[in-house]
Amino acid sequence: MMSKGTRAMIRRTQFAIVLRWLMLLTAGFCCLPFIANAQDQLSVILRFPAVQILPGEPLELRAYFYNESPAVFTGSLPETLAMRLQSADAAATLVTAVETEAGPPVNMAPGQFSSKTYRLVVPTVFAGTVEVVPLGHPESAVLLNAAEPERVAAKAKKAAETPSAAPGKEHYPSLESLFSLYQPYVVNFSAYEPMYFLVGMNPEDSKFQISFKYRLFNPAGSLSQAFPWLRGLHFAYTQTSFWDLSSDSAPFEDTSYKPELFLLSSNWKNRPKWLRGLFFQTGIQHESNGRGEQFSRSTNTVYIKPILVFYDEKSALGLQVSPKLLTYINNNDTTNSDLADYRGFSELEIKFGKANGLVSTTQLRFAERGTSLQTDLTYPISKILKNNFDMFFQVQYSNSLAESLINYRQRSETLRLGLSFVR
């Protein structure tokens, strides 16, 4: 058995190695926005006049073209833009946005941008949240809220019956349609980590998690145009609670609160052809359980995580591999000074499955005290109930050290069943 002094020396050596790699990788990551975009001279960002759109009617949008190369761009901006539209209830569809008027050739020095107005008609088959992706620029995806088909049909019927009706009197069928008028930044919110509610086979081991992220900078703003890496700067928040459902009062055994600031790169354009996606994420995360005295637990981690994505469109099969290197800063020296011994300095996440079917997610943590494993299987319930219930059925198996902060030195083995909203 190793002495405390030997373990401390090993931890210091591991810390130094991880920190050295982290600094090198972070330095390389900071250069990625400039290396990755050298292949294509212009990138494009779409800006719509409103989040709420009406399918079937012409819609004008503004496209911003940014010169990301070290050379001057001279030429005409494209007359048309091809885009892919996709929603939960409609298959992916290619549409074309056409320029509203021809413009003269432009001269853009490196780092400058120019814009142009296009007209687009969203097909009436789309309703609810619609993802708009300009072809060749998946990093510029935009989420819009399309009105319900009933509203589109009703408006067309009303227009036919009263062609001279005064314009500007809009009908808002839902609170969200009015809410979006006053919340132009809501499109910056999106899901982050999985969100679920799971009941343990032993009810005292039940668990739920919520998580979201928020993009901090407008991708079409002047700062993002001058410093493209700012488009990937996000604030995130994740909360994981362990709930004892077997007791009469159903107390929470422990809760981890995890605010985070991270930078996510766009898809690296110089990646190998066989690799569908290559992203890099680096950030700092605080984690604590919000309790006091001997029950207090807190830590901070700095990490870097490459994300490799393999995907076959014909079979809809995908594989994501995400190794992660991290180091700890300001552990609570009184109550969890040895947390790194149980969580380690490296992690690996592997996701595999069909985009519209069964997906397996496995997370591994490698630590001095042992390896931790968590595996999740998720399947869309809508496939069973004919698209009537937008959730996933989830099975989670965990055999982990430090699954919760309060009992981080104990290994727990748990099987849980439940529902997830984001997998």
256 is in an annotated binding site: no
Catalytic residues: 286, 288
Whether residues 120 and 207 fall in one domain: no
Structural domain boundaries, residue 99: 42-182
Name the percent of the chain lying above pLDDT 70.
83
Q: Which of 155, 182, 209 is the last residue of a domain?
A: 182
Residues 174 and 268 occupy one common structural domain: no
Residue 28 has pLDDT above 50, yes or no: no
Q: Is the pLDDT of residue 160 over 70?
A: no
Q: What is the pLDDT of residue 391?
A: 94
Tokens 């219930």 correspond to what residue? 389
Q: What is the mean pLDDT of the chain?
A: 84
- The model's pLDDT over 235-251, given as tens digits with 9 standing for 90+, comes to 999 999 999 999 888 88
Q: What is the CATH number of the domain that holds 200?
A: 2.40.230.10
Predicted confidence (pLDDT) at residue 207 exceeds the cutoff of 90? yes
pLDDT reading at 21 higher than 50: no
Return the top range by mean pLDDT from 6-10, 155-159, 342-346, 387-391: 342-346
* Bridge-based pairing state of the strands 80-87 and 128-134: antiparallel
At residue 409, what are phi and psi to the nearest 5 degrees? Answer: -85, -10
Does 249 count as an annotated binding residue?
Answer: yes
10 Å CB burial of residue 154 (0-12, 13-18, 19+) is middle
pLDDT of residue 50: 82
Residue (of 223, 209, 305) closest to 262 by Cα position: 305
The CA distance from 97 to 135, in Å, is 12
Q: Which of 182, 200, 232 is the last residue of a domain?
A: 182
More reliable by pLDDT, 70 or 293: 293
Q: Tell me the mean pLDDT in the region 173-184.
A: 73
Q: Examine the domain organization and report whether 393 and 291 are in the same domain.
A: yes
Q: What is the pLDDT of residue 136?
A: 76
Predicted confidence (pLDDT) at residue 173 exceeds the cutoff of 80: no
CATH assignment at residue 102: 2.60.40
Average the pLDDT over each of 153-157, 272-276, 337-341 and give the range with the smallest value. 153-157
Tens of pLDDT, residue by residue over 346-390, are 999 999 999 889 999 999 999 999 999 999 999 999 888 877 888
Dist CA 211 CA 214 (whole Å): 11
Does 25 lie in the same domain as 58? Answer: no
Residue 230 and residue 350 in one domain: yes
Domain termination site, one of 182, 201, 226: 182
pLDDT at residue 188, rounded to an integer: 84
Q: Do residue 132 and residue 206 come from a single domain?
A: no
Whether residue 202 is predicted with pLDDT greater than 50 in this model: the reply is yes
Say yes or no: 240 and 345 in one domain: yes
Over residues 135-147, the mean pLDDT reads 83
Average pLDDT over residues 128-132: 87
Residues ≥6 apart with Cβ < 8 Å to 290: 255, 257
Q: What is the mean pLDDT of residues 305-309?
A: 97
pLDDT tens-digit readout, 66-95: 887 778 888 888 888 888 888 877 777 888
Query: Residue 62: its pLDDT value, please?
Result: 92
Q: Are 192 and 421 within 8 A, CB to CB?
A: no
Tell me, what's the pLDDT at 385?
Answer: 86
Residue 275: which pLDDT band, with cuts at 50, 70 and 90?
Answer: very high
88: left (phi > 0), else alpha (psi -120 to 50), else beta?
alpha
Same-domain pairing of 194 and 141:
no
Please compute the mean of the pLDDT values over residues 393-413 and round it to a whole number: 96
Q: Quick one: pLDDT band at residue 163, thresholds 50, 70, 90?
A: low
On the question of pLDDT at 119 being above 50, the answer is yes
Please count the structural domains in the chain: 2
Does one domain contain both 354 and 238? yes
Same-domain status, 170 and 240: no
Residue 346 assigned as binding residue: no
* 68 and 204 co-located in one domain: no
Both 171 and 273 in one domain: the answer is no
